[in-house]
Amino acid sequence: MPVSAETERLLVLTAALAFGVASAASVFVPQSNKRKTALVSSAISVALLLTVAAITVRWIREGQGPFLTLYDVLLSNLFSLALVYLTAYLLVSALRPAAKVVLPFLLMLGVWLLLVPAEAIPLPATYDNYWLWLHVISGKLFFGLCLTAAGAASILIFESVRDLQRAHATSARVADIAVWRLMSMAFICESFMLIAGAVWAHSAWGRYWAWDPLETWALMTWLALALLLHARVTFKRLPTTYFLAGVLLVFAVAFLTFLGVPFMSIAPHKGVM
């Protein structure tokens, strides 16, 4: 029996609260506290489970995945971003300080989600194929990796950038390496997102590329990331902070692509709906 929209809203509200708890713990609990990692990761896990529950009840009620509306995209991104960051948080300790940036961002998404209309738009039959899944999953992986890298880059810029100048390996050095690994993986995911998106568009609308706003911004994100990765290898003498600031810039373009451009109108790829 389908669960009501009110229950779904309650799940989203509770998830946002859990992200709030995780954010507060990441910011206010001292680094020296041995239970900080367990506390933060537990709060993210609870928020993640509540988000999964909200997606599940919505999926059952509407009979389709969260693909079309701003509400859908925010909800699914809340899940995917939290999952990517939780994985990074548990596996790479150097990325844990980034929680101070990433978790408040997720809290902001949760609050935003509570403020937008939750009505669903039926998924057109031509949209529903495997390429849609590949396109969406690779896009969400890209955005998650980019957010994690941007979080770590912010911390490196504002807190530990001086450590990077030292000859010896430090936590900042490890975090810096992790940032570029994440951005490289993000580039692979973004590239695959564009390929899968073109195949999907060819199937859904009969054309693989039409320079619609979302496609163009996705290409600009890819080009900006390509430029950043290329520049870091080429201009080695420039200060590290320049490239870390570049990570933030790429994330800003990605944010506009994923959560700005598609919703200046009603739905993603509005031009062809």
Binding site for another protein (CB under 8 A): 31-32, 36-37, 92-94, 96, 122, 124-126, 128-129, 169-171, 173-174, 177, 181, 184-185, 187-188, 191-192, 195, 198-199, 202-203, 206-208, 211, 213, 216-217, 219-220, 223-224, 226-227, 230-231, 233-235
Cβ at position 200, least distance to another protein in Å:
12
54 vs 250 by CB, closer to another protein = 250
Cβ at position 137, least distance to another protein in Å:
15
- The answer to whether 187 and 141 are in contact (CB under 8 A) is no
Cβ at position 10, least distance to another protein in Å:
26
Cβ at position 109, least distance to another protein in Å:
25
50 vs 189 by CB, closer to another protein = 189
48 vs 218 by CB, closer to another protein = 218
118 vs 227 by CB, closer to another protein = 227
Cβ at position 273, least distance to another protein in Å:
10
111 vs 245 by CB, closer to another protein = 245
Cβ at position 33, least distance to another protein in Å:
9
| DSSP letters for the chain | -PPPHHHHHHHHHHHHHHHHHHHHHHHHS-TT-TTHHHHHHHHHHHHHHHHHHHHHHHHHHHTS-S-SSHHHHHHHHHHHHHHHHHHHHHH-GGGGGGHHHHHHHHHHHHHHHHHS-----PPPGGG-SHHHHHHHHHHHHHHHHHHHHHHHHHHIIIIIHHHHTSSS--HHHHHHHHHHHHHHHHHHHHHHHHHHHHHHHHHHTS-S----HHHHHHHHHHHHHHHHHHHHHH-TTS-HHHHHHHHHHHHHHHHHHHHTGGGSSSSTTGGG-
12 vs 224 by CB, closer to another protein = 224
